Chains A and B, each alone.
Chain A
Amino acid sequence: KQEVTQIPAALSVPEGENLVLNCSFTDSAIYNLQWFRQDPGKGLTSLLLIQSSQREQTSGRLNASLDKSSGRSTLYIAASQPGDSATYLCAVLPGYSSASKIIFGSGTRLSIRP
């Protein structure tokens, strides 16, 4: 059974630092992996989606990498800003069919100190 883990559960860094958020999954046979952001009391916003055949995806100051063989993905945030404070969740799609469903990690709560 696929399990998705995000460690640490919370992280606090000063503004301007580059940082890495981690996501690990137990079964390397995934179809894709998605990173989301969630602000307090709000819904999730999709940040990046990496297909299983890809190694990384970039959007602005965000870069997500995928290493299927080791069961790991990282989300790199460059030059962090207070507005980056949020909970970041990763989710994997184990396989593809019309009835497939994604499996979420529990998230890392990120706080950027001004």
Chain B
Amino acid sequence: DVKVTQSSRYLVKRTGEKVFLECVQDMDHENMFWYRQDPGLGLRLIYFSYDVKMKEKGDIPEGYSVSREKKERFSLILESASTNQTSMYLCASSRDPSYEQYFGPGTRLTVT
């Protein structure tokens, strides 16, 4: 059974902290994605990666960076967390863009 896991379900951080969100998939997928989901704004793509060490900006990359050192792991980094980054963060992976995307359970991040 396919599986995408995220390091935390709930996270509370203070403004200015550096935050790491980790995502791991066990399906040997090439593509991995980070989204954030906010009421009224839907799902927005932050970054994605289509190969190890490769990354592409999504629609809202400002304030975020990513790292993909190994195929199975894709990390989202908030360099200096701000209150407007309070959101639900969702990781996904797919074999390639034309295949189904599989999502992790999400991390609800609160920045105070």
Measuring CB to CB, which residues of chain A are less than 8 angstroms from any residue of chain B?
A: 31-32, 34, 36, 41-46, 49, 51, 89, 91, 93, 96-102, 104-107
Q: Cβ of A91: which chain B residues have Cβ within 8 Å of it?
A: 101
Expressed in whole angstroms, the minimum distance between the Cβ of B95 and any Cβ of chain A is 12
Q: Are A34 and B100 in contact (CB under 8 A)?
A: yes
22 contacts between A and B (CB under 8 A): A31-B97, A32-B98, A34-B100, A36-B103, A43-B103, A43-B106, A44-B103, A45-B103, A46-B100, A46-B101, A49-B99, A49-B100, A99-B50, A99-B56, A99-B97, A100-B97, A101-B56, A101-B97, A102-B97, A102-B101, A105-B42, A106-B42
Q: Count of B residues near A, CB < 8 Å?
A: 26
Contact B90 A93 (CB under 8 A): no
Min C-beta distance of A91 to chain B, whole Å? 8
8 Å CB contact of A31 from B48, B88, B98, B101? B98
Q: Among B42, B48, B97, find the residue whose CB has the most chain A CB atoms closer than 10 A.
A: B97
Query: Nearest residue in A to B105 (C-beta to C-beta)?
Result: A43
The answer on a CB contact under 8 Å between B101 and A41 is no
Q: Is the CB of B98 within 8 A of A34?
A: no
A101-B45, A101-B48, A104-B43 are contacts. A42–B105 as well, Cβ < 8 Å?
Answer: yes
Q: Report how far A91 CA is from B48 CA in the complex, Å.
A: 16
In the complex, what's the smallest C-beta–C-beta distance from A103 to chain B, in angstroms? 9
| 8 Å CB interface, B75-107 against A | 88, 90, 92, 96-106
